[in-house]
Amino acid sequence: MFIASDAKNWQTYAFGTNVFRTFSIFEHPIVYAVFLLILFWCNKFLVKNNFIRHLLQLNILLNLFFTKSRSVWIALIITVFIYYFKVIILKLKNYNYKITYKKIFITTFGLAVIIIAGYIFQNQISNIFNLIFERIVVITDDSYGDVSRLQRLGTIKAINYYMTNNGITNFLFGNGIGSVNQFMINNPISISGFTTTDNQYLSIFYNFGFMGLAVYVLIIILSIIKFLKGNIKDINSLSILCFLSVSISMFFFESFGWTDIFIFLTLSMLFISVKKDKLYSKYF
């Protein structure tokens, strides 16, 4: 009954084929992918046992891969870059990294395992990279006929044209909460009956104008600055990475329209504002 529910009929028909995308209990692979990315960062910060943490992260990455969610793949890459950029800064700042025989052995052994595993599973690895390449390349040019690309680019042009040609008040303050849905109904792009922009930033721009969009972008910038300046092991750092994970990926969908993702976003913003105290210092 669960699998056959109306909410999932669009996906279950593809079960057992190459076009199937995992979605778990979240009704949509994108929602599941966002959950997995947040779980990835929670494991990174909260699971102290290295072996268990690596197994959990591997399981998460495998599931994330099979969601085939390009938006969350991109969010993963960007947030990992931000995290390790901070790590490198700390290493350079402290100048206390020492090369030991143990570290050399672990590094050499790890590289050997990766090389051997790569040779053994070269066909599977090749298939994985081919699938990722196919998912990415179709959005690079209109000639591939990717409906997702055509719909999103068409929506960007339509909303930008409307907002820049209907007066300064409309541009600055928008048209009111929820009004973008009616705009999409009145201005079909590539998919008839499509009522969302598939881009939360476009929705914010149309509903609340440039001022509303600027406020949210400012929150993102301040969050990144706070992460780079703060303690990387603090709970705020975990909250910021979760917030950025949702904020980056929602450039490709309307996060406010999915209750699950909206809750993820709200909770991460709430914990960003929590100050570190004795309770948190016990674990971070």
Lowest mean pLDDT, pick from 35-44, 50-59, 250-259: 250-259
Contact call for residues 256 and 262 (beta carbons, < 8 A):
yes
- Angle at which helices 259-272 and 200-229 pack, to 10 degrees? 30
Q: pLDDT of 56-65, one tens digit each?
A: 999 999 999 9
Contact call for residues 235 and 271 (beta carbons, < 8 A):
yes
CA distance 185 to 177: 16
Can you tell me whether residue 228 is helix, strand or coil?
helix
Q: Tell me the backbone φ, ψ of residue 28, rounded to 5 degrees.
A: -150, 135
Instruction: Give the list of residues 6+ apart from residue 150 with CB closer than 8 angstroms, or none.
Output: 142, 189, 190
Residue tagged 């509303």 (tokens)? 212
Structure tokens, 81: 């870059």
Structure tokens, 176: 């009111």
Closest among 60, 147, 24, 196 to 11, alpha carbons compared: 24
% of the chain surpassing 70 pLDDT: 84
CA distance 131 to 22: 15
Terminal CA-CA length for the chain = 43
Q: pLDDT of 92-148, one tens digit each?
A: 777 665 667 677 777 787 788 878 877 687 777 777 777 776 776 666 666 666 777
Average pLDDT over the chain reads: 83
CA distance 46 to 9: 36
Q: pLDDT of 166-224, one tens digit each?
A: 999 999 999 998 899 999 999 888 877 788 888 999 999 999 999 999 999 999 999 99
* CA Rg value for the chain: 22
* pLDDT of 70 over the 80 cut: yes
**What is the model's pTM?**
0.81
